[in-house]
Amino acid sequence: MKVVAMVGSLRRDSFNRRLAETVRDRYRDRLQMEFADLSVLPPFNQDEELNPPPVVQAFKAQVAAADAVFIFTPEYNWSVPGVLKNAIDWLSRGERVMVGKPVFIAGASTGMLGTIRAHLHLREILASPGVSARVMPPGGNEVLVNFAADKFAPSGPLVDPATLSFLDDVMERFIQFAASAQDARHTP
Ligand code: FNR
């Protein structure tokens, strides 16, 4: 499966970036993951939505060509970071490349709630008409890495055994979900 990863943090030593790299490396036999560079996207401007700048066109083409989108995001002030929302806004206008696209969501935070509030907002955003992505139902499929500082190797991958085992379960379900044509419903 060809997937594009979007990471909501631009931080050099980001836990979410390292979570994405963990997923890329752990499932490399089943996923070909490339990263989208959200840092080069200009702020969304509706004047340009039908003829966006070349970097946006390239980003939209990258997403359009993928079988699935993986989103790894921190929680900023109880929601998704602006850089991620900006990227999704570009994807939702003109050619709506997220419609029907299977999306895998995961998040890491240093706090106790592991990005759950950002996830809830993200699910609403992904269900909006311009986006209309396909997301697995929430019960049991939320990859939320709390207390991230305790669960990653220093400047390295996710190493917490229980979290990795849960990730394996969710990934198995996601791969089936993404491949399943009959499960084409949109979940809120
Ligand atoms: C945070 N952080 C944070 N954590 C959380 O659990 N809930 C929140 O609402 C916030 N809000 C927030 C706002 C801003 C502007 C920053 C910079 C940080 C802490 C956050 O979980 C922590 O910085 C993570 O390490 C960010 O993820 P990356 O950059 O490591 O991927």
The CATH number that applies at residue 170 is 3.40.50.360
Neighbours of 135 (CB within 10 A): 23
Q: What is the pLDDT of residue 138?
A: 87
114-129 average pLDDT score: 97
In this predicted model, what pLDDT tens digit does every residue of 4-20 receive, in sequence order?
A: 999 999 999 999 999 99
pLDDT for res 188 = 45
**pLDDT score for 159:** 98
User: Does some domain include residue 51?
Assistant: yes
- The pair phi, psi for residue 46, each rounded to 5°, is -65, -25
**Residue 184 included in any domain:** no
Q: Which of 132, 128, 158, 126 is nearest to 144 (CA)?
A: 158
The position carrying tokens 């997937």 is: 3
Q: Best of 110, 113, 147 to mutate for ligand 1, by most ligand atoms within 8 A of CB?
A: 110
**Beta carbons of 145 and 114 less than 8 angstroms apart:** yes
The count of domains in the chain is 1
Asked if the structure places residue 108 within a domain, the reply is yes
pLDDT tens by residue, 124-149: 999 999 999 999 998 899 999 999 99
Which domain range does residue 6 map to?
2-179
Does the interface ipTM go beyond 0.85?
yes
Flag whether 187 is in a domain. Answer: no
Record the pTM: 0.95
Cα–Cα distance for residue pair 96/129, rounded to 1 Å: 10
Instruction: Provide residues with CB under 6 Å of ligand 1.
Output: 9, 11, 14-16, 74-78, 108-111, 113
The conformation of residue 30, written as its DSSP 8-state character, comes to T
Q: How far is CA 79 from the centre of its chain?
A: 14
Residue 186 belongs to a domain: no
103: exposed, middle or buried (Cβ count in 10 Å: 0-12, 13-18, 19+): buried
185 assigned to some structural domain: no
